Structure 1
Amino acid sequence: TPPTSAPLGGAAAPNGTQGEPVGADCAMNSGCADLGITGQCCPTADGTMLGCCSSLEAAAPPALKPVASGPGPIMTTYMYRVANDEDYPINGVNMANLAGDMWYLHNEVVRACPRKFGITRVLRYKVTMKATPELYSSTNHENFAHLCHFDSGKCTGPGNSLTDYTRYGYAVGCDRPSTHVASYKGATWFSMPGACPRLTFASKKHYPACKYQDPGGECKKGQAWSKTCTWRKEYAGEVSLKELTGVDATHSWCHQGNYEWKDHCDCGRGTSFWNGKRNHAKGNERIDKLRSLFEKKYPSQPADLGEAHCPFGDRNR
């Protein structure tokens, strides 16, 4: 049985409703209007399951601003993603700039020994992206949507993310995490909407046809910029965490009483690389080391492509 969360441009069968639906319900329901759904189906309270409406909703959907005369400028930057030794498709994921990846490593990964998710390396991609005219006009000429949190390939929120993909296209999103948690100034996260953002990787394998109705924003070769072509990527190398930190953080290393970083002392045992999580100077040193390792390993590639400015998050971050 296919999943009950419907892809863009489609609607699932009526689900869990009682009584006879009113034919005009969907036309009057802002959630349905946002999704372009007509007839007698509309979203349930969670915004993803589709079923028959049981009442009218008087509120009209917010009006779109006039569409910009053209899309946003083409932007190219390096984005990074931590990974274990297995290769996974980049189909609905969050990525980051260098500072953002270091923030994530320090706050989420190295506090566990062995490391969370078995992370062993940092992957780099050259990403080229362009905001759609619809997004560009609605955000006063900003180049990003709000960040969508992807978990196993599925967009899990904020709640309006999937609706925004319908209204503005599958735009790259961004946000800046707090430097009060980990001092990596300029840290930025990005959301890269892939095909079928309503489904996890496992569900996408079971229902591959979803990509025809919910294609995502990654451009196919030769595809023109559009609401379904907002970003392109090229693999641009990787650096292992052993190269970066000098340790493997294996089971045997951890069982000897070592650890990379603990909050109670803001320090490691067997390594001092991560000491000083909220120390701005030390954070910069760690970022610089990772950047220099990429430069040394890939001398034919640019060391830096510049930063893509994210308008969201605390301005002081």
Structure 2
Amino acid sequence: MDKYEEYGYAVGCQAVETEEYNYKRQAPATNCVPDDSPECVSGTWYSLPGACPHKTLYHKTDECEEQYPSAKCDHPDGSLTCTYNVRYAGQVELDELEGIPDYEKWWVDEDGPTGNIEYEKITDDGNGTAWWNERHNEERCNSRMAQVIALFGKRYPDLPDNLPDPPCL
């Protein structure tokens, strides 16, 4: 916890390993050196520190959450415990894109486990859905992203379907 006390609850970001997946940014990252590196066009994972960040979800106590509060606040000011704000901007369900109408029944039906699996990294395939197959195929990755953006646009036609990536410095 010394790092949190010294530096505060900074929002984290990390380029997605390009060897793992072939998702690309719509626009290259800013402040990326060298600018032709794979990380300049790869996707980004973000981490928003919540309360009691050093404990796993089911091991957080009220005492810990009080001692180490979330960095989410109404007006971020860069102080140790006020570094970000989020607003609900809609969501889409991947189950719909995967063709899974009832997730629980997709896993287990009246006869027991179905054998379905969304994706298996070793085989690069799913069973019961092929939506995630071929994680290294740039065309398939682009198609998945386009489907997500299209479904979001359908659900929330008054919201922008494309925003710039927050900087990851």
Taking structure 1 as the reference length, what is the TM-score of the superposition? 0.40
Larger Rg: 1
**1:49-88 residue pairs with structure 2 within 5 A?**
none
**1:238 Cα deviation after fit:** 1.9
**1:179 Cα deviation after fit:** 2.0
Matching residue of 2:89: 236
Matching residue of 2:4: 165
Match of 1:192 among 44, 48, 59: 48
Secondary structure in 1 matching 2:6: helix
Structure 1 residues 193 and 254, CA gap change in structure 2 (3 angstroms): same
The one-letter code matched in structure 2 to 1:251 is V
- Bigger strand fraction: 1
Matching residue of 2:107: 250
Secondary structure in 1 matching 2:88: strand
> Counterparts of 1:240 and 1:210 in 2: how far apart (Å)?
32
Secondary structure in 2 matching 1:285: helix
Match of 2:71 among 217, 220, 245: 217
Matching residue of 2:22: 183
Deviations 1:215-236, CA, capped at 9 Å, x for gaps? 23111x4574422100011122
Matching residue of 2:38: none
**1:211 Cα deviation after fit:** 4.0
**Sequence identity, in percent?**
39
Gaps of 5+ in 2: 25-41
The one-letter code matched in structure 2 to 1:183 is N
**1:303 Cα deviation after fit:** 1.2
> Counterparts of 2:115 and 2:133 in 1: how far apart (Å)?
17
Q: Does 1:300 align with 2:139?
A: no
The one-letter code matched in structure 2 to 1:235 is Y
The one-letter code matched in structure 2 to 1:245 is E
**1:1-317 residue pairs with structure 2 within 5 A?**
162-185=1-24, 186-205=42-61, 208-219=62-73, 221=74, 224-248=77-101, 249-252=106-109, 255=113, 258-263=116-121, 265-311=123-169
Deviations 1:146-173, CA, capped at 9 Å, x for gaps? xxxxxxxxxxxxxxxx433222221101
Structure 1 residues 216 and 285, CA gap change in structure 2 (3 angstroms): same
**1:214 Cα deviation after fit:** 2.3
Matching residue of 2:33: none
The one-letter code matched in structure 1 to 2:86 is K
Taking structure 2 as the reference length, what is the TM-score of the superposition? 0.70
Secondary structure in 2 matching 1:170: coil
Structure 1 residues 299 and 193, CA gap change in structure 2 (3 angstroms): same
Gaps of 5+ in 1: 1-161, 312-317
Contact 2:15 2:44 in 1 (8 A): yes
Contact 2:107 2:116 in 1 (8 A): no
Secondary structure in 2 matching 1:239: coil
Structure 1 residues 251 and 225, CA gap change in structure 2 (3 angstroms): same
> Counterparts of 2:95 and 2:64 in 1: how far apart (Å)?
39
